[in-house]
Structure 1
Amino acid sequence: MWGAEPYRGTPTNLSLPLSFMYIHHTHTPSQPCLTFQQCSADMRSMQRFHQDDRGWDDIGYSFVAGSDGNIYEGRGWLQRGAHTLGHNSIGYGVSFIGDYAATLPSQHAMGLVRDQLASCAVGGGRLVANFTVQGHRQVVNTSCPGDALYNEIRGWAHYGEVKK
């Protein structure tokens, strides 16, 4: 629906259900998208960057939340993503369009991910019921998903610290 280019190569299927949901922000584009047209354009831009500049087979994220009230499918429920180095086979990568170092995504966008996407994943056997939400920065040396968003997800019911 957002005008995706085809997957390049042969996708790797996930072994379901998964145990983690890794939260990201896109950083670029840095502004939240507020309309379907803008969010779709942002998705196409991210896909071009991931495929053409990074050399990946597709957009790296499993799903992406826009501030237009939609969740956009990247690699989806069944294909391994390229979102959280070393953890792509055990969790979904879910990104919010925008830079959330200092501000938060809309409450609606966060609710879509925290409540609806997660519930759909558990109900559909894609995530275990006791899944763990972590910020990208918890498992990879990065500032993603931004300080503001990271502090927010630390209050989510399924948030978990990294076990050492």
Structure 2
Amino acid sequence: MIDLVSRSTWGARAPSGSYTTLASTRGVKVHYTGGHVDPATLTDHSRCVAAVRGIQRGHMDGNGWIDIGYSMIACPHRKVFVGRGPGHLPAANGPGLNSAHYAVLGLVGTSGVVTPPDGVLHGIRDAIEWLRAKGGAGKEIKGHRDGYSTDCPGDALYAWVQAGAPRPVTTTPPTEEEEVPEVVSLGLSAEATVKPNINHSPWWTEEYRDTAGWHPAGGQSIAPDVDVWADVTTFIALRGFQPGERVEVGLTRHLADGSLVDCAWPTGRLMAVHADVDGCVETNLNGHLKLSATNRGRVTIRHTSANTITLEVASAFKAILHPYA
């Protein structure tokens, strides 16, 4: 069931003109912000509200549009903001492309919150289903870059769209009687140098540990006695790249000997991100890892830069284990 945030609730400004009406569309196009999304939005919904207001302000005062350009906006808390809403022509898909698809924004960007959290993915799906029911949206789910020259909605979100925009895997929280390992933060006791990966090998990895406290690179990993699902959201920050240099990051599973089993996100492979103008990379990673005594979870970072790359931050917003069923 969709958790709508009405225009009055998020404090939307009234449109400066009349909407063009739409009876139906071929479907929906998915977007991202194209800028920085504060990681605090992951835990503070008021930051999401402020972000949506800022987007509307930019579209109306900066672009000269009559309103925010998106039909709906999904935030990490699985709440869906009403933008222009169903039955109204959006403005975000590009000239000549707005009448064919509604526009749904996931509150992720090019830095800060880069990998879409499960709440955003569920929210986008909720918005799509609501637009189908209320606005005559067809079955197509496409990215903004489909038909328009843009990087939007970003590599991670676009990979999810290409995979069919699946609902994230849901897990059942453990009961009080069930014994599951306690997991604490992934992190660093000090900044670490990330060595280059020539020909994609070897990989630098940082592992989740199953005892209290921070730990340096190469630390202890989870090795529970029973199969468990680990729901993980992490944040990493690196510096030292040339502007625009490519970096690959992801949540991965490995055997005890270090060999790769698979990548948890996005869609079974590492995610490509690019350094900003200051040579920095900030990104979030979300995923579900099936762990056991032989499968351990790690964050993997891969690059081929000639520069000295420093990992400044590696922290876990959550690392919750559920019995595997």
Fold-level similarity (TM above 0.5): yes
Contact 1:100 1:145 (8 Å CA) reproduced: no
Match of residue 119 from structure 2: 108
Match of residue 85 from structure 2: 76
Matched, 1:56 2:65: yes
Contact 1:27 1:97 (8 Å CA) reproduced: no
Contact 1:2 1:40 (8 Å CA) reproduced: yes
Instruction: Give me the whole-angstrom Cα distance separating, in 2, the residues matched to 1:125 and 1:12.
Output: 13
Match of residue 26 from structure 2: 19
1:27-65 Cα offsets, whole Å, 9 max, x none, are 234335233311111111111100001100000000111
Match of residue 118 from structure 1: 128
Contact 1:25 1:96 (8 Å CA) reproduced: yes
Instruction: Give me the whole-angstrom Cα distance separating, in 2, the residues matched to 1:133 and 1:28.
Output: 23
Shift of 1:79: 1.2
Contact 2:36 2:110 (8 Å CA) reproduced: no
1:42/1:70 Cα in 2 relative to 1: closer, same or farther (>3 Å)?
Answer: same
Instruction: Give me the whole-angstrom Cα distance separating, in 2, the residues matched to 1:133 and 1:31.
Output: 27
1:59/1:107 Cα in 2 relative to 1: closer, same or farther (>3 Å)?
Answer: same
Matched, 1:44 2:44: no
Which runs of 5 or more residues in structure 2 are unaligned? 1-8, 167-325
Instruction: Give me the whole-angstrom Cα distance separating, in 2, the residues matched to 1:103 and 1:3.
Output: 26
Match of residue 97 from structure 1: 107
Instruction: Give me the whole-angstrom Cα distance separating, in 2, the residues matched to 1:138 and 1:31.
Output: 27
1:157/1:70 Cα in 2 relative to 1: closer, same or farther (>3 Å)?
Answer: closer
| Structure whose alpha-carbon radius of gyration is higher | 2
Shift of 1:100: 5.4
Structure having the larger proportion of residues in helix: 1
1:6-27 Cα offsets, whole Å, 9 max, x none, are 100121111x221121010012
Amino acid at match of 2:91: A
Amino acid at match of 1:107: D
Give the alignment partner of residue 31 of structure 1, picking from 23, 38, 41.
38
Structure having the larger proportion of residues in strand: 2
Matched, 1:135 2:143: yes
RMSD (CA atoms): 2.0
1:63-83 Cα offsets, whole Å, 9 max, x none, are 111112211111000211101
Instruction: Give me the whole-angstrom Cα distance separating, in 2, the residues matched to 1:38 and 1:157.
Output: 25
Give structure 1 regions of 4+ aligned residues with deviation exceeding 3 angstroms.
100-103
Give the paired residue count. 154
Q: Secondary structure of 2:102's partner? A: strand
Contact 2:34 2:110 (8 Å CA) reproduced: yes
Amino acid at match of 2:56: Q
Amino acid at match of 1:43: V
1:139/1:78 Cα in 2 relative to 1: closer, same or farther (>3 Å)?
Answer: same
